[in-house]
Amino acid sequence: MLENVRMKMVWRDVISNLLNVQPIQIDSNLVSAQNRRRLYWTNIQNVTQPEDSGIMLGDIVDGATSSAVNFKRRGHGFLPSVQYITSKTPALFCGSGDYFVSTGGEYRKLTPVECERLQNLPDNYTDVVSNTQRYKMIGNGWTVDVIVHIFKGLLNENL
């Protein structure tokens, strides 16, 4: 299985031709509180979209009292700084320490545990390394419940 960000069709076709399969696009927002559209190439047959679990940002942020939370992302490179009220975060990336939330008071960074929740990891799953490394690992990782959904297709195949 291969996962990658959305890309120009020419590069998508190169990968598809090399692997001899077409990708399916799945957005992690169906199984988590982040918008994370990714392409998945797999030889597992009949992979479909996961059902919407209804998980919202307020469900994973400590101290939230509603599904929508004040959110701010520090801009860098081509990403602008943004501030808004949302029920889903943008996709985490390796610099996820640039994401801030407020549940009625001052803005604070998303904690590593909150980032783990965005990727469907158990709380403190990455606590064996520094927070800097935690943010990097979580942002570079797969959304667990998307991968579980794809692998469930193996149960339906005649092996």
Query: Could you give the count of Cα atoms lying within 13 Å of 70 in the half-sphere of its Cβ?
Result: 9
CA distance 9 to 11: 5
Amino acid occupying residue 155: L
Distance CA 28, CA 145 (A): 8
Strand 82-86 and strand 24-27: the pairing is unpaired
Give the distance, in angstroms, between the CA of residue 99 and the centroid of all CA atoms in the same chain.
Answer: 13
Interatomic CA distance for residues 66 and 36, integer angstroms: 22
Both tokens of residue 98? 């640039």
* Helix/strand number for the chain, H first, E second: 5, 7
Query: What are the domain boundaries of the chain?
Result: 2-52+144-156, 57-140
Cβ-contact 96, 115 below 8 angstroms: yes
CA distances from 14 to 67, 85, 89 (A): 40, 39, 30
pTM, entire model = 0.89
pLDDT tens-digit profile, the chain (159 residues): 999 998 999 999 999 999 999 999 999 999 999 999 999 999 999 999 999 999 999 999 999 988 999 988 876 666 677 788 889 988 887 665 678 898 888 889 999 999 999 999 999 999 999 999 999 999 999 999 999 999 998 887 655
